[in-house]
Each structure stands twice: as structure tokens, then as C-alpha cells.
Structure 1
């Protein structure tokens, strides 16, 4: 039997986790680096709104497509190797993006960035699972998402200031160098497990891998997690990654510096939401879906107010929209919590990879459709507030689909657990989570 060299949740655990979170923070910076660069990119590459949206759509498409393969790789190679590989890919992608001046080459660079991004988040979650006791994992997962969101702050006002002071090439190149530095930190500071033996890397046959993936997908709790992630996160992601800044500047008539500063608010709000959601999930796991539905309802209500407001909405309403919508990030983490609850540890990577595709699939659909609808509505002219309202109303389609699926798979997940793991179901009714055996 392997021996525990470092205590779970001890000082070494915090050092390993901090290094992993720093890597995730820099990755979020890269992911959101187009949030304030959209207008400059449209001018640099001479492209339309739908072509501009394709930068983020390609990036998110690659990210989503990589999630299941990354889950398999994570179960095979562990967090450390994947985080090092991610750092190299992110450096290469941002360096290339800083230099290219053709639209196809820029798209290729964003695709590589999507691959690097895909390797990071679930690798960091594996660090949480390996180094902290089970009862602290929901709160630590929320803290991971919350602190990683600081990268979104850096990708707004500081990035906008850097673009103004140093230009396109220097700003994106400097961002790429940050990933090289975090890669070195991972190399020297991260260990996959706190035990005295290296991570087991038993090779699985293709048949075994397929079987593991099939079992993870057939588990209704995995699909509940996927649709939770899908429905809670796409609205805030669409706003923060691309369309929020143009909506505020071109649609609402705000100054660019004001709009960039407002994109910091979701991260600050998540510092409030994250601990609340984490504590709720740890204390009342049977009732997690109610906070998910509340998060979705809040976004629907605030977008309805903004879209129905005659002309431009007043600043307090816009601020309320951004703050309420920010709950989607912590809410989406509950989807990953469902993957942990309804799957044994042997399927964690595969199940988490599947769940993590949800929100990014929804984001790429929404970002792409908003770009297309903006072009249709404006007819090639500069977009107005009415064009943005028409395009952003597409969100209701995804909210309706996702909410229906959450209700469906909530019922199926509970029924499946009660049928095949009655002890685990009774524990869940008592608001306790029992790890499932593979």
C-alpha cells in the first residue's frame, strides 16, 4: 500500500494548488484576451462582425472538442505533464497571434490556443481531488474558479492599457511569455499526488477507454452536469469573451475605458458568489439544482429588462445585469460537482471532460449566432443598440433548451442512483456524498 508523504490539505497541498491556480489564471487571461481587442482585431484584419466572432468560436470549438480526449489523457498522464504541455502551447499560440497579419493565420493561432486552454482546467481540478480531503473539495473547486477569474480582470483594463501603450504585437507577445514562466513553476513545484509512489499510468486498451467513456456518458448525473454547465455559463461567457465590450461601447454608447472597467465586475462579483455556492454545495448536495435554476432565472430576468428597455439602458441597470449574470461562473462549477458525485474516481477525467464541454459548446453557438445576427440586422452598417438587442435575444433559445434538459436529467440521475446505489442515494438525501466505486 502506498504511503501518504504529505497530509491532505497541508502546506505542501496549498503550494501545489497555488501553482496550479496561477497556471489557470494565466490561461484565463489568454482565453479572454480578445475581450477588449475585438475592435482592434476587426480593423487589423479588416473583417466583419461574424468573422470577428469566428476567432472566439474557433478557439472554443477546439476547446470543447478536446475535453473528452483531455480527460482520457489526464487519467493516463496526470496533471503535471498536461499543465507543462499547455504552457508551451499557449506561449506558441500567443506569440504567433502577436505577429501574424492575415486572417487565416490568426485563426490558426487561436485554434492552437484552444488546445492549450483545454488542457488546463480539469488538470487543476485533479490537483484539488488529489491533494485535499473530499469534504473540502467543493469549496476548493469554487476557489479555483474564483481565483482563476482574476485572469479575466487582467484581460480587461490592463490589457486595454497595454494595447494603447505598447501596441498589438508587444502586448500579445508579453502575454505568451507569462505561460513560459508558469510552465517552469509547474515543472519544479507540482507533484501529481501526495503519496510516495508516482502516479499510476496503467495503459488501457482502446476497448477499455471506449468502455470507460461510454459508462461516463450513460450516467445521467454526467449529463445533468453537462447541461448545468451549458445553461449557467454561456451568457456570461458570451458577454465577457467577446460581445460585452462592443455591446457597451457601440450599443450603449459608453466610453471604451468605462466598458473595459465594467468587465472587471463579474470577477469581483464571483468573489462573493463562489464561497456561497461552494458552501451550499458541500452542505446541501441534494438541493444543488435549485441554486442552478436560480442562477439561470437571474440571468433571464436581467437580460429581459435590458432588452425591453426603450433605447439605451441606464448605468444602474447595466451594472445589475453584469453582477447578476456573474453568478453563472460559480453556478457552472456545480456541473463539475455532479460529475464527481455520480461517477467513481476511475472515470473522473472522462466525466469532467464531458461536463466541461457543455458551457463552451453553448458559448461558441451563442457567440457565433450573435455575430451572424448582428450582420443580418445591421446590413453591413455600424451596429446600433437595436441590432445588439435583436442579436442577443438568441440567448433565450439556449436557456429554454438547457433548462428543460436540467429538469429531465435531474430526475433521471436521482432515479438511477436510487436504483443502482441505494446507500449512496440515501446518503445524498441526508446531504452527504459517498464516493462511488468503479
Structure 2
């Protein structure tokens, strides 16, 4: 379709600014499924242990299978997003995740459960990077951090569904049927991706962001070897990945692995009450993405919020694990804790702004790769410690969480050495 068939330039811009929300919303819904699968096993911990007759370490491995797959796929996902495009990538891989979710719900043995969770991770691994790619092609650069915040809302909605709503669903349908139904739902939304998503406004005969912002045209024929070398030899890519690994691993452990069980053990509350407390942290996380993203875009500052929130997250973990708070304070504490912890979204923004804008998928993939390695390994180490101290569970939790706290501390120190971009892409080709 030629641009002159679409209307005047003003009409074209209006269409871009309206249809972009259709494209974004469909992928954002798929991202809700991603975070549901990421966090859902924590709430059904006891159900899985009973179903497969396993301990804490084997349970943690069920969750980690997802993250092993996610880790493996982050750089390939970036390549697929940059070369094949978000539409085809998300559609095909979401179908794989849907089938794997159904198989997980029907799994007759722990081996099948491991394998199906691994393929769920493979299938959903592409969605976030494709969402970031879509944001870079459909939205103005000045709103990049804010749009990361909106993506965070989708992520946290999935995390909310994976808390007390999942407990209710499991009570009604059983954990197996619940994961089967989620797989069927993914098939429906994968079809919507195929029908509604466009990789770039130019696919509809509309002006793209490169034209509207007078920035260099996006390069379609990306050479994978050169792209990987560009991102992976950039020291700022790796420096920003260190705060990310601590912050994000903690986010996963709190929301998806041991948060609910730790609150149950520490405060003697029911599973649904513990899940509701975690939802306070999820809400804080959702608010964080918007507030921090908006303020960062407004004041053109990325480094200060990262440093401040990284240090506060470290303090928050020490308080959460070693201080038994009055129940009346637990909800507001967890809200603030979730808020500061979710500054890891700033790492995605910085990862894009220190690298070639044409390689947004690969840059996000490399940063994610580091974080998901931590999210895969650390919970298994923690689970092994919990199994060792099974007779003294509270001591076991304290020793297990000390491993995480040490990782968060390293990330907090590294945040002081990240590169300030002042809200613009600072990459310069060598």
C-alpha cells in the first residue's frame, strides 16, 4: 500500500498513534501469560510436591526449567525479533508454549513436568523482547522508559493472576486443569497476534518512527555476527547486567518461588493470605514501572533512580528476612519493597540506550540472558539449603535467602558504575 492511499500526513500520524495501541495491547496480553507461567509454580508448590513426591530442591528445578530455557533463548530471541520480526516470532513460539502448558497440566511424572516447563520457557521467551522491539518501532523515543513501565503493568498483572487468583482457580479446577486452560487461552491470543500485529507502521503504508523523529533509518538486513559482536563487546551492556541479575532474581524468588511459602512459615498465615500479601508487592511493582519510567523520562536521568532503588532493595531484603514485622506493617512494607525492587526495568532502558538502536532486540536479550541465569540457578541453590535444614525451616530460610542478599549487594555496588545516558541513545559506532 502506498502512503498516498492512506491519507494526509496528519491523518497518517494519527493512525500510527492510535493503531500502535492495538499492536501493543495484543503483545502485552501475551506478556501476561509469560509472567503467569513464570510465577505460577510458587503458589502451587505444595500441590506439585504432593503430585510428584518431591522435595524443595526438585520443586525449585520445576521453576528453574523455565528459566534455563529463557536463558538459552534470550540472544536467539533478540535475533528473531530483529530479523524475522515480532509478529511471526511471537505467533509461532506462543503456540509452542500453549501446547507445553497443556502437557504440564497433564504430566504423569516429574520428568514430563520438567520437559514441559522447559518448552513453556522456550515458547514464551520471545514475547518480552518482541514487545520491546514493537515499542521501539511504534512509539516515540522520548517515551521509551514510560512504555517499559506500561510493559511492567502487563508483567505484574500476570504476577497478580499467579497469586491468590491462581489459588482460587486451583481450588476450583485443580492445578492440572488450570494450566491446561491457560494453554488453551494462549492459542486464542496467538491467533490475535497473527491477525492484528504489524511489525512496523510502514507495513500499513504509514510513516515509521525513523521518519517521524528524523532519526537514521532502521536497518532491515542485520548481520547476526556483527550485531552480537557490537552488543557483547560493549562494556556498558555487561555493567548494566550486574544490577539486573540481583534485582530480577530477587523479584522472581519473591513473586514466583519462595515468597508465599516464606510468609506462611514466618507469619503462620494461610496460603491465600500469604498470596494476598505478595500481591501488595506486585502492586508496588506495577506502580513503580510507571512512576520511575515517567520521572526518568521527565528529568532525563537513568542512573540516580537505579542506584537509589538498588540500595533500598538491599535494605528491604535484610529487613524482610531477618525482622519479623507486625502484620499491620507487612502490607505497606511489601508495597514499598515491590516498588523499589522493580527498578530492574531501568536496566532494559539503559541496555537499549547504550547500544545501536537497530539492535534493540539483541541488546535486551543479552541483558535478560544474565538476569535469567541468576533466576534459574539461585532458587535451586536456595532449595537445596532448605532441604538441608528441613528440621529447622526458619534457619533454612535465613541461610537460603542470604545467598540472594549477597547477589543483590553485588548488584547495588555495580549500579554506581553504570553509564548515565540522559534519556537518549548514546551509542557511537567504532
Question: Same fold judged by TM-score > 0.5?
Answer: yes
Q: Paired residue for 1:133?
A: 140
Q: Paired residue for 2:199?
A: 192
- Residue 7 of structure 1 aligns to a residue whose secondary structure is helix
Are 1:391 and 2:400 counterparts?
yes
Separation in 2, partners of 1:269, 1:400:
21
Q: Paired residue for 2:215?
A: none
Are 1:342 and 2:359 counterparts?
no
Q: 1:220 aligns with which of 230, 235, 251?
A: 235
- Residue 433 of structure 1 aligns to a residue whose secondary structure is coil
Task: Kindly state the Cα deviation for residue 434 of structure 1 after the two structures are TM-superposed.
Answer: 4.6
TM-score, normalised by the number of residues in structure 2: 0.89
TM-score, normalised by the number of residues in structure 1: 0.87
Q: Paired residue for 2:264?
A: 249
> What are the Cα deviations for residues 294-346 of structure 1, in whole angstroms up to 9, with x where unaligned?
2222222222223333xx54324433442233125641111111122111222
User: Structure 1 segments of 4 or more deviating over 6 A?
Assistant: 197-201
Task: Kindly state the Cα deviation for residue 400 of structure 1 after the two structures are TM-superposed.
Answer: 2.9
Q: Paired residue for 1:79?
A: 86
Alignment of structure 1 residues 221-236 onto 2, 5 Å: 221-236=236-251
Separation in 1, partners of 2:165, 2:122:
25
> What are the Cα deviations for residues 240-270 of structure 1, in whole angstroms up to 9, with x where unaligned?
1110111112343111120121221122112
Are 1:365 and 2:361 counterparts?
no
Separation in 2, partners of 1:308, 1:136:
39
Contact 2:79 2:362 in 1 (8 A): yes
Structure 2 residues without counterparts, runs of 5 or longer? 7-11, 209-217
Alignment of structure 1 residues 31-430 onto 2, 5 Å: 31-196=38-203, 208-285=223-300, 287-309=301-323, 312-328=324-340, 330-378=342-390, 381=391, 384-408=393-417, 410=418, 413=419, 428=421
Contact 2:312 2:340 in 1 (8 A): no
Note closer, same or farther for the CA distance 1:92–1:119 as it changes in structure 2 (3 Å cut): same
What is the count of residue pairs matched by the alignment? 410
Task: Kindly state the Cα deviation for residue 436 of structure 1 after the two structures are TM-superposed.
Answer: 4.3
Separation in 2, partners of 1:434, 1:168:
45
Separation in 2, partners of 1:229, 1:335:
6
Separation in 2, partners of 1:385, 1:170:
33
Structure 1 residues without counterparts, runs of 5 or longer? 415-427
> What are the Cα deviations for residues 329-376 of structure 1, in whole angstroms up to 9, with x where unaligned?
641111111122111222222111001123222222321121011112
- Residue 368 of structure 1 aligns to a residue whose secondary structure is helix
